C-alpha cells in the first residue's frame, strides 16, 4: 500500500502512473527537508516538483545532476552560510528531466526566531557572485542587477536568487519580502516595466494581502538581460488551523480562482485537519501578472515531517 503523503495528490494528477521522481522509495523524498508539488490552475498539464536542502553540506547523497552539484559547491565556497537551497524539476510527468532550477537563500537569518549575531550580512557584490555561478551571462548586465539587489535590500529584503537553467531562455528570478507600503516606491526605483496599478488592485484580494507584519512576498524575473513585466505575488503557509487562512481558502473558491470541483476536492483533502500523519501540510498560492491578460495562479502543495518548516518558496 502506498502511504507516501503525496500519493493521493499524485493519484489525482497522474491517475495512470506516479512519477518516479517523488515515489515513496525516492531518495529525494527521504533526504528533503521540505517538498512541494507545483500545480497550475489552468489547462496546463505541467506539474513541477521542488525540494529543499537545509544547511547544505554533503551534496553527494542527492540525486541531482553533477553539473548542478558543481554549481552549488562553487556557491558554498563563496558563501558557506547559505541556510538552504531549493531544487526545482520542471514537468515531472516527463521521463527525462532538464537541468533543475536552483533557488539559493541569501538571507542568513531568514525564518529564524532568534537570529544569531555570528553571521555577517551578505553584500550585493557577494549575491551577484552567487548569481554568476548560477548563470554566467549575468556579467553582461551586472550594473542593473546590483542596482535591483541594493534597492530590494533598501526597501525590504532579498530572500532568494534563482536560475531556471532548464528553461529557454534561462531566466533569473529574485524573491523579495518587503512592507506593502514600500512596494510602489521599490518598483518605481528599479524601473519595473509592468503595471503597478494592477499589482495594487491584486493586493486587495485575501490571497495576496500582507502578512501580520504588513509584508508581502513577490518574485521578479530577468529575461534576455532585462527586467520582465512579470511579477508573482506569493501567499504562504495556508492551512485550515486559523480563521484567516480559512477565509483565504473560502475566497479562492467563491471567486473561482479554484473553480473545478476536482481541484477544490484535492485542496480540501490536502488541508484536512482530520488527517493524522507525522507530516505538516499546507498550500502556497502564487498570483502571476505577466501580460495585459488576466492573472494566472499556481498552487504549491507543501509537505514536511513534523519539525521546523521552511517557508516560503
Considering the chain, what is the average pLDDT of its residues? Answer: 84
User: Burial code of 152-167, b = ≥16 C-beta within 10 A, e = fewer?
Assistant: bbebbbbbbbbbbbbe
pTM: 0.90
DSSP string, 168-194: SS-EEEEEEEEEGGGHHHHHHHTT--S
Sorted by where each begins, the domain ranges of the chain are 7-305
Lowest mean pLDDT: which of 71-85, 151-165, 189-203? 71-85
pLDDT at 144: 92
Q: Using CA atoms, how far apart are residues 229 and 195, in angstroms rounded to an integer?
A: 8
Q: pLDDT at position 280, please?
A: 85
* DSSP secondary structure code for residue 250 in this structure: H
What would the pLDDT profile of 161-176 be if each residue is shown by its tens digit?
Answer: 999 877 776 789 999 9
Say what the pLDDT of residue 110 is: 73
E-strand stretches of the chain = 35-40, 47-54, 84-89, 101-105, 157-164, 171-179, 215-223, 226-238, 279-289, 296-305
Distance from C-alpha of 212 to C-alpha of 305, rounded to nearest angstrom: 25
Q: For the chain, give me the number of helices (H) and strands (E)?
A: 9, 10
pLDDT tens figures, 265-302: 889 988 987 665 667 889 999 999 987 778 999 999 99
Q: What is the pLDDT of residues 234-268, one digit of tens each?
A: 999 999 888 899 999 999 999 999 998 988 988 99
Q: Contact, 86 vs 51, CB < 8 A? A: yes
What is the distance between the alpha carbons of residues 114 and 311, in angstroms, rounded to a whole number?
16
Segment of 5-9, 35-39, 153-157 carrying the highest mean pLDDT: 153-157
Burial of residue 222 (number of CB atoms within 10 Å: 0-12, 13-18, 19+): buried
Cα 163 to Cα 167: distance, rounded to the nearest angstrom: 9
pLDDT score for 311: 44
Res 152: pLDDT: 96
**pLDDT top residue among 194 and 43:** 194
pLDDT at 132 exceeding the cut of 50: yes
The Cα 226–Cα 236 span in angstroms is 28
Residue with C-alpha cell 475566497? 251
Looking at residue 293, its pLDDT comes to 73
Cell 531556471 sits on residue? 164
Amino acid at each position: 500500500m502506498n502511504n507516501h503523503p503525496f500519493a493521493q495528490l499524485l493519484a489525482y494528477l497522474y491517475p495512470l502512473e506516479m512519477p518516479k521522481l517523488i515515489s515513496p522509495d525516492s531518495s529525494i523524498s527521504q533526504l528533503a527537508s521540505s517538498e512541494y508539488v507545483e500545480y497550475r490552475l489552468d489547462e496546463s498539464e505541467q506539474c513541477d516538483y521542488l525540494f529543499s536542502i537545509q544547511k547544505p553540506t554533503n551534496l553527494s547523497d542527492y540525486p541531482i545532476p553533477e553539473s548542478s552539484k558543481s554549481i552549488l559547491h562553487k556557491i558554498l565556497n563563496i558563501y558557506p552560510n547559505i541556510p538552504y537551497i531549493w531544487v526545482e524539476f520542471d514537468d515531472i510527468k516527463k521521463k527525462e528531466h532538464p537541468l533543475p532550477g536552483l533557488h539559493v537563500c541569501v538571507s542568513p537569518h531568514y525564518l529564524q526566531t532568534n537570529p544569531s549575531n555570528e553571521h555577517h550580512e551578505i553584500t550585493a557584490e557577494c549575491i551577484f557572485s552567487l548569481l554568476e555561478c548560477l548563470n554566467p551571462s549575468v556579467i553582461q548586465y551586472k550594473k542593473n542587477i546590483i542596482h535591483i539587489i541594493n534597492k530590494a535590500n533598501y526597501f525590504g529584503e532579498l530572500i532568494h536568487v534563482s536560475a531556471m537553467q532548464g528553461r529557454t531562455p534561462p531566466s533569473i528570478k529574485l524573491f523579495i519580502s518587503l512592507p506593502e507600503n514600500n512596494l510602489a516606491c521599490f518598483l518605481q526605483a528599479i524601473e519595473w516595466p509592468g503595471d503597478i496599478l494592477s499589482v495594487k488592485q491584486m493586493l486587495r484580494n485575501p490571497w495576496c494581502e500582507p502578512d501580520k507584519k504588513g509584508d508581502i512576498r513577490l518574485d521578479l524575473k530577468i529575461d534576455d538581460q532585462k527586467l520582465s513585466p512579470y511579477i508573482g505575488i506569493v501567499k504562504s503557509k495556508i492551512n485550515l488551523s486559523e480563521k484567516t487562512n480559512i477565509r483565504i481558502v473560502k475566497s479562492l473558491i467563491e471567486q473561482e480562482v479554484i473553480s473545478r470541483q476536482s481541484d477544490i476536492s484535492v485542496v480540501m483533502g490536502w488541508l484536512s485537519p482530520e488527517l493524522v500523519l507525522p507530516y505538516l501540510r499546507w498550500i502556497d498560492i502564487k498570483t502571476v501578472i505577466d501580460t495585459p491578460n488576466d492573472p494566472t495562479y499556481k498552487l504549491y502543495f507543501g509537505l514536511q515531517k513534523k519539525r521546523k518548516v521552511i517557508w516560503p518558496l
